[in-house]
Amino acid sequence: MVSSKEGTPSDLHTNGSSLNSNGTEEKLDELRRLLGKAEGDLLKIVGVGAGAWGSVFAAMLQDSYGYLREKVQIRIWRRAGRAVDRATAEHLFEVINSREDVLRRLIRRCAYLKYVEARLGDRVLYADEILKDGFCLNMIDTPLCPMKVVTNLQEAVWDADIVVNGLPSTETRGVFEEISRYWNERITFPIIISLSKGIEAALEPVPHIITPTQMINRATGVPLENILYLGGPNIASEIYNKEYANARICGAEKWGKPLAKFLRQPHFIVWDNSDLVTHEVMGGLKNVYAIGAGMVAALTNESATSKAVYFAHCTSEMIFITHLLAEDPEKLAGPLLADTYVTLLKGRNAWYGQMLAKGELSLDMGDSIKGKGMIQGVSAVGAFYELLSQASLNVLHPGENKLVTPVELCPILKTLYKILITREFLSEGILQALRDETMNDPRDRIEIAQSHPFYIPTLLGQPCRNLIDDFVG
């Protein structure tokens, strides 16, 4: 649940929206025309899920386009709120009192007295109330630009033109199955932009990956050409601060190019790319290795050398895995490494690895952490390991000249699985893996990937070829 940063009165509207200095109204009008909106009809955009990235994304749109109230409506859906304890409420009031602009806004909206009463009495305060008035729990010091919050899912989505999926991959299928019931009588399909990073492994009829966009497609019947994935490299809190960031919106060109133009801002550059599934899978894969990066950083007291050694090994494994998934993996190298780098530096998965290694979190607490949300790298470790350990995917190990499962060429992934899933190792196991004298040089793994035809098209649902000929040819 993050937001867009407020600026000075000279460059912001009263509701926090940017002035039309970069053609925002023209971009909005262009998208409205493409969607067939008549004069007077609102373009309705709703974010589903109010986690960090989901609400920063919605708030960014509100900040840019929200002042054009006669043309666009931007809302965000989240489940009914959970109770906020007294200490959290008191801290939020300190935030309110420390920001004069926020205080003025709450007084204007007659909201401040409600919070004073909650602070002084014993009343339970709910997160929904805080979010409606501009605060969120994931970034407790962060004021949001004013935004309409809806807790009724049917109300939020039934006539939406653009739906932004800000849910974790583990929740995407269930929520969109519910949404599909509200779309039974729709004549046209909405556009869906998925921000979710994570995968599931399916083993029948052949081992393959299921991504959030595929979950949405199967749950709702919305055609894949109307479903797009938007990924980094970026960090939600830095976008909130209007620091320079990049993103790619991946999917059919019909919507990818106009949406890239619509979303692009001076501090948030968006490119379009037609390779939806591979980029989406890579978005989940980098979270796997980010957890290990956090462990290494904590266990070595932020040793630059140790982190560099880990980076070399994990990126070589990721490059190997891309050669299993993509026929032209070289096209992914730049975005993959950039997104991995930023996630290892500052993402919530790296933070989670650090906290585990320091003993400040335990695996028994689960992968949904209060104040941080879902740690999607945990389920991704399980999914990638399960998928790549299938004997039906055996590949030829060039050094040993024998068939092995792909995971045997990924020792870091194997170690993370034994730490996070089977719990055979403690966090220190990641250092033992790095110091294993029998581990291949990362260069060797990259050379193996680049010099042998490891591509397995069925992993991403592509038509099957004669894979045995590929492996031994």
**CA distance between the termini of the chain:** 51
DSSP 329-353: GGGGHHHHHHHHHHHHHH-HHHHHH
For residue 328, the tally of other CB atoms under 10 A from its CB is 10
Angle at CA 172, nearest 5°, toward 199 and 270?
Answer: 75
Structure tokens at 104: 């003025």
Query: Helices (DSSP H) in 300-428: which residue ranges?
Result: 304-325, 333-346, 348-358, 376-388, 411-420
Distance CA 287, CA 198 (A): 8
* Assigned token pair, 244: 């320079």
Say which DSSP state 137 is in: S
Q: How far apart are CA 325 and CA 201, in angstroms?
A: 13
Contact call for residues 452 and 396 (beta carbons, < 8 A)? yes
227/216 Cα distance (integer angstroms): 8
118's CB contacts (< 8 A; 6+ apart) are: 89, 125
95-98, long-range: CB < 8 A, 24+ apart = 95/135, 95/140, 95/141, 95/143
Question: CA Rg, the chain, in Å?
Answer: 23
Q: Are 141 and 98 in contact (CB under 8 A)?
A: no
Residue 265 DSSP code = B
Q: Write down the H helix ranges in 136-168.
A: 153-157
359 and 416 Cβ atoms separated by less than 8 Å? no
Rama region for 36: left / alpha / beta (φ>0; ψ in -120 to 50; rest): left
Q: What residues are annotated to the active site?
A: 286
What distance lies between CA 271 and its chain's CA centroid? Answer: 17
Q: DSSP assignment, residue 148?
A: E
E strands, 89-134, are 125-126
Between CA 182 and CA 177 the distance in angstroms is 9
- Which of 230, 213, 234 is CA-nearest to residue 222? 213
d(CA 383, CA 390): 12
Structure tokens at 107: 């007084």
